[in-house]
Amino acid sequence: MDMADYPHLLLTNMPYEVLIGYIVADSFIRHAPQFTYKWNPIDELNLQSDTVQYIYKYWTIMNDYDPVRFYSLLGRKYIDKKNSQLGMRARFRSKSHSDPKSLYVLSDYILHINVNHTLQIDTSDLNSIRLPSSKTIAYCQVLDTIKGRTFPSMDNTLIWNGELEDPDNGIIYNSIYSIPQQTDIVFCYRNDWGRIWQSKNQAQLVDAEGNHWIQQGKEYIVFLEYFGKDAIGTWDPIGSDHKRYYNLSPFPGPGSYNMYPVVDGYVLDKANALGFGTSVPVNEFKQKIRDKIFEIKNYGN
């Protein structure tokens, strides 16, 4: 999807804490020293420190209010500044992978969905080692929003069958598919992101019967995050008019990649990755997630 652009990040009708978060984030990126691989403020922080808990708090508040606008802030570049906050989030992600809170902070959407259509795309014929052999695209109706109150527009969505640009000859590989009705959100994942080994050399996201993990007509609790996709032209020059793109994918996690099936009113988490149990009533499961988010958003209150 086209990356949304918000020339004016601040809105007069924003909740006060969201507004404060944007003001502080904008000020920080304007005045902080340039981030480099040798220096990043995240590297010096203890994950349990008061500073990190407040970053967690405001990122969660801002992201929950509008994930699309928040991602636009993270990717924003400033004149004479090479900094962007995506670098900070990437450092948080790599540093905090052992911190259970990071799943709830860094996920852009946590949703209860019904999958109304799936599309399997095979990219093996593109003869590129950078591409997976197959991926699943899921078109979803949102049954309940746990985090992420604003969804991206489905207008002009590009469903891609490989990558946006061939680095050798500039050919754009893509196919356009119509979006099914009652589609609120679309996400995709590589089928080899699984942790269920089918052979010595390949892992696949499949269920016990060997079917694709995400299936049409079934419900799931999913944790999704934005990923920027490379665009045509020199990457991210200041003032460039080339398009930037993004897609939604599941947040990494053990076993199911944080995509939990809902079967007969119970959420199945066979690895007990979230610590709620392996089979939990769906409303109880969602409430436990909401309790985690409430705790993060109310730190210091």
What is the torsional sign of CA 211, 216, 222, 225? positive
Q: What is the pLDDT of residue 206?
A: 79
What does the pLDDT average to over 275-300? 96
Using DSSP bridges, classify how beta strands 245-250 and 185-190 pair: parallel, antiparallel or unpaired.
unpaired
Q: Average pLDDT, whole number, for the chain? A: 78
pLDDT digits (tens, 9 = 90+) for 72-90: 887 776 655 555 666 667 7
What does the pLDDT average to over 241-246? 64
| Cβ atoms of 16 and 257 closer than 8 Å | no
More confident residue, 64 or 42: 64
Q: What is the pLDDT of residue 289?
A: 97
Q: What is the pLDDT of residue 130?
A: 47
121 has a pLDDT exceeding 90? no
Q: What is the pLDDT of residue 79?
A: 55
H-type alpha helices, the chain? 16-31, 50-65, 67-75, 85-95, 101-106, 254-257, 282-297
More confident residue, 205 or 203: 205
19 has a pLDDT exceeding 90? yes
Quote the strand ranges of the chain, DSSP E. 109-122, 134-147, 185-190, 196-197, 203-204, 219-229, 245-250, 259-263, 266-268, 279-281
Euclidean distance between the first and final Cα of the chain, in Å?
A: 37
Percent residues over pLDDT 70 in the chain: 70
More confident residue, 183 or 282: 282
What does the pLDDT average to over 143-171? 68
Whole-number Å distance between alpha carbons of 5 and 93: 24
Q: What is the pLDDT of residue 92?
A: 73
What does the pLDDT average to over 9-36? 82
Confidence bin at 34 (pLDDT 50/70/90): low
In the three-class reduction of DSSP (H, G, I as helix; E, B as strand; rest coil), residue 293 is classed as helix
Whole-number Å distance between alpha carbons of 183 and 140: 5
| Cβ atoms of 267 and 285 closer than 8 Å | yes
Whole-number Å distance between alpha carbons of 105 and 55: 9
Confidence bin at 291 (pLDDT 50/70/90): very high
Using DSSP bridges, classify how beta strands 266-268 and 259-263 pair: parallel, antiparallel or unpaired.
antiparallel
Whole-number Å distance between alpha carbons of 247 and 256: 19
Percent residues over pLDDT 90 in the chain: 36
Tokens of 106: 């860094």
What does the pLDDT average to over 109-137? 74
Confidence bin at 16 (pLDDT 50/70/90): very high
What is the torsional sign of CA 224, 62, 286, 101? positive
Whole-number Å distance between alpha carbons of 61 and 19: 10
In the three-class reduction of DSSP (H, G, I as helix; E, B as strand; rest coil), residue 81 is classed as strand
Confidence bin at 264 (pLDDT 50/70/90): very high
| Cβ atoms of 227 and 75 closer than 8 Å | no
168 has a pLDDT exceeding 60? no
What does the pLDDT average to over 104-131? 78
Amino acid at 189: Y
